[in-house]
């Protein structure tokens, strides 16, 4: 009998795990550079050789800083776009409920269905939180489809109800499109190869830093703090790439309280 696959085997590294690995690799390169310093002739790390090394490190450090800044700007823009979609979804739900309220008693059942579908809608977006609570997600239909079907079956009796019915259908369609836009966004748009190359660059930079200066406690403390800062940058970038999971995830409270 073939064993079922372990769901944890293909799970990607969390941002804190990736940052810890980056920190360990860069620290190891710095220690290696300090050990290499004791074996190199002084002429290799002084004079013209030292000037060439400084220029080379400046070039690689500039490229690394530029790449880190671009990565942060990209993930920050994506995070803010996702936050805007969630805010738009919250506004659409509140407006839809208001339109149905003005429609009259015939729409009360749809308003009740709309309130009942908010939690399943939240669970379908914040999946990690839902799974942690033991919620079984229903992939057979989108949470707002039932409300849309009920709206389509609604029969307006006068011109006012026809106008409100048309507006409610439009809002419900916009709500579906917004949710589809959230699902269409990749959960991790940053290439691991790209991040690995950036780590290699930082390993080279800090390894050379340790190699070109005599080792002392102050040097090691400063280098360790710089490496910690670089690792924290990786953590922030990867966290911003997970708007519905992790420590910096978007809050679902506004959506949960949209109709309260």
Number of CB atoms found within 10 A of residue 100's CB: 27
Instruction: Check pLDDT > 50 for residue 9.
Output: no
Q: Among positive and negative, which fits the CA dihedral 134, 138, 144, 149?
A: negative
CA atoms within 13 A on the CB side of 116: 9
What's this model's pTM, rounded to 2 decimal places? Answer: 0.75
Question: Packing angle between helix 48-103 and helix 217-240, nearest 10 degrees?
Answer: 30
The closest of 245, 102, 240 to 160, measured between CA atoms, is 102
**Percentage of residues in the chain having pLDDT higher than 90:** 26
Q: Tell me: the pLDDT tens digits for 210-244?
A: 888 777 888 889 999 999 999 999 999 888 888 88
Q: Tell me: the pLDDT tens digits for 93-148?
A: 999 999 999 988 888 998 998 888 888 888 888 887 777 777 776 665 555 677 88
Instruction: Check pLDDT > 70 for residue 188.
Output: no
Check residue 187 and give its pLDDT: 57
Highest-confidence segment of 6-10, 67-71, 143-147, 211-215 = 67-71
Distance in angstroms between the alpha carbons of the first and the last residue of the chain: 52
């Amino acid at each position: 009998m073939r064993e079922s696959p372990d769901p944890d085997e293909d799970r990607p590294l969390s941002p804190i795990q990736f940052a810890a690995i980056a920190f360990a690799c860069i620290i190891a390169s710095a220690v290696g550079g300090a050990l290499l310093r004791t074996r190199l002739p002084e002429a290799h790390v002084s004079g013209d050789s030292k000037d060439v090394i400084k220029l080379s490190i400046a070039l690689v450090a500039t490229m690394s800083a530029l790449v880190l800044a671009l990565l942060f700007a990209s993930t920050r823009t994506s995070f803010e776009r996702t936050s805007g979609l969630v805010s738009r979804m919250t506004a659409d739900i509140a407006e839809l409920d208001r339109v149905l309220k003005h429609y009259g008693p015939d729409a009360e059942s749809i308003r009740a269905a709309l309130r009942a579908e908010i939690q399943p809608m939240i669970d379908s977006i914040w999946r990690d939180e839902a799974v942690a609570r033991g919620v079984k997600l229903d992939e057979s239909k989108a949470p707002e489809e039932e409300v849309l079907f009920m709206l389509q079956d609604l029969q307006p009796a006068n011109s006012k109800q026809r106008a409100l019915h048309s507006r409610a259908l439009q809002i419900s369609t916009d709500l579906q499109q917004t949710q589809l836009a959230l699902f269409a966004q990749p959960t991790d748009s940053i290439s691991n190869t790209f991040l690995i190359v950036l780590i290699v660059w930082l390993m080279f930079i800090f390894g050379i830093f340790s190699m070109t200066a005599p080792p002392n406690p102050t040097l090691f403390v400063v280098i360790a703090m710089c490496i910690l800062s670089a690792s924290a940058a990786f953590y922030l970038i990867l966290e911003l790439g997970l708007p519905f999971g992790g420590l910096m995830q978007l809050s679902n409270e506004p959506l949960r309280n949209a109709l309260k």
